[in-house]
Amino acid sequence: MKNKSTTTPKKKSASNTTNTGTRNSNISSGKDVKEKDDSLEKFFLDQLKDIYYAEQKILNSLPKMQEAATTLELMYAFEDHLHQTEKHVRRLEKVFQMLGVRPEGKKCEAMDGIIREAEETIEETEEGTMTRDAALIMSAQKVEHYEIATYGGLVQFAITMGLHDAADVLEKTLLEEEDTDMLLTEIAENDINLAADHEGKQFSWEKQQQETNA
């Protein structure tokens, strides 16, 4: 099932391109947004730095998740996403460049926490098990959902501010994050979750419930 962000971008309408006024003229001309007094533009830049930091954090963590995975299917999915993430970093640098701002990350406590939790998952599950993969997929989807929410918001802000070229670049990444999320759901639902459930049969919620009801 496709997980939808609350900020999934809407198609750009004609009014988006014409009704931008002059409020973004300084961004378009490449002046440093930090000097501006416009809070949406400041917040946009702040979130751009947040996701730039987050992407690099993910880039660092994906090889560990790939190495820890049990199935080849999940290993390949992580490997593909690693290459995509390198592209995402480059796209963000392009957006910074469009704004005339030096690419810079800002510590993202949320992504630090999600990644820490993902790495704990590796320690808490047994190597070579399907439970390990099921847990890794859940962790990876937490990462994806954070990214989808952030990119979804950034695309909308960019459209609102008339930064259509930036919106197009950010939307490419948003669509790839959504595809990755769907692929992970498919991998989990096709066989990994079921196999993980079977391997843990020494403890069964079902059995416990039957005993309680007896």
The least distance separating Fe ion from the CB of residue 180, rounded to whole angstroms, comes to 8
Q: How far from the centroid of its chain's Cα atoms is residue 72's Cα? A: 22
User: What is the rounded distance in angstroms from the CA atom of residue 75 to the CA atom of residue 68?
Assistant: 8
- Take residue 30 and report the two structure tokens written for it: 């490449």
Residue closer to Fe ion, measured from CB, 88 or 132: 88
- Take residue 12 and report the two structure tokens written for it: 């750009």
Options 85-93, 103-111, 125-133, 192-200: segment touching Fe ion (CB under 5 A): 85-93
User: What is the rounded distance in angstroms from the CA atom of residue 189 to the CA atom of residue 194?
Assistant: 8
Binding to Fe ion by residue 57, rule CB under 5 A? no
The least distance separating Fe ion from the CB of residue 64, rounded to whole angstroms, comes to 16
Binding to Fe ion by residue 49, rule CB under 5 A? no
The least distance separating Fe ion from the CB of residue 208, rounded to whole angstroms, comes to 40
Give the CA distances from residue 79 to residues 62, 72, 84, 145, in Å, rounded to whole numbers and listed in that order: 8, 10, 9, 19
Binding to Fe ion by residue 88, rule CB under 5 A? yes
Binding to Fe ion by residue 81, rule CB under 5 A? no
Binding to Fe ion by residue 132, rule CB under 5 A? no
- Take residue 28 and report the two structure tokens written for it: 């378009």
- The residue behind tokens 């049969």 is 201
User: What is the rounded distance in angstroms from the CA atom of residue 171 to the CA atom of residue 151?
Assistant: 7
The least distance separating Fe ion from the CB of residue 111, rounded to whole angstroms, comes to 11
Residue closer to Fe ion, measured from CB, 49 or 88: 88
Residue closer to Fe ion, measured from CB, 33 or 89: 89
Options 77-85, 122-130, 163-171, 198-206: segment touching Fe ion (CB under 5 A): 77-85
Cβ-based neighbour number of residue 210 at 10 Å: 10
The least distance separating Fe ion from the CB of residue 139, rounded to whole angstroms, comes to 15
Give the interface with Fe ion as residue ranges (CB under 5 A): 85, 88
